[in-house]
Amino acid sequence: MNALCVVWTLGAIAWATVAVLTPAGDDPKEAVERKAGMHHDQHQPAGRYYIPTYAKVEKDGTAVLRYEVGNSQDSSVKDFLRTYDIAAEPKRTGPSDVTYSDRFDDVRRTFTVTYNPSPEPGGYEYARITVRARGTDAS
Contacts of 117 (CB under 8 A, 6+ apart): 96, 124, 125
Which tens digits make up the pLDDT trace of 118-137? 777 766 788 999 999 998 86
Contacts of 109 (CB under 8 A, 6+ apart): 36, 37, 101, 102, 103, 131, 132, 133
User: Tell me, what DSSP letter sits at residue 136?
Assistant: P
Per-residue model confidence (pLDDT) at position 19: 56
Count CB-CB contacts under 10 A for residue 127: 21
For residue 98, is pLDDT > 80? Answer: yes
Which tens digits make up the pLDDT trace of 44-66? 776 778 999 999 999 999 999 99
Distance set, CA 45 to CA 36, 40, 52, 67, 82 (Å)? 18, 9, 19, 20, 11
Per-residue model confidence (pLDDT) at position 32: 94
Per-residue model confidence (pLDDT) at position 40: 84
The Cα 54–Cα 74 span in angstroms is 21
For residue 33, is pLDDT > 70? Answer: yes
- Stated pTM of the model: 0.74
The Cα 98–Cα 100 span in angstroms is 7
Per-residue model confidence (pLDDT) at position 17: 64
Per-residue model confidence (pLDDT) at position 139: 39
The Cα 62–Cα 133 span in angstroms is 6
Contacts of 52 (CB under 8 A, 6+ apart): 29, 32, 33, 38, 65, 66, 67
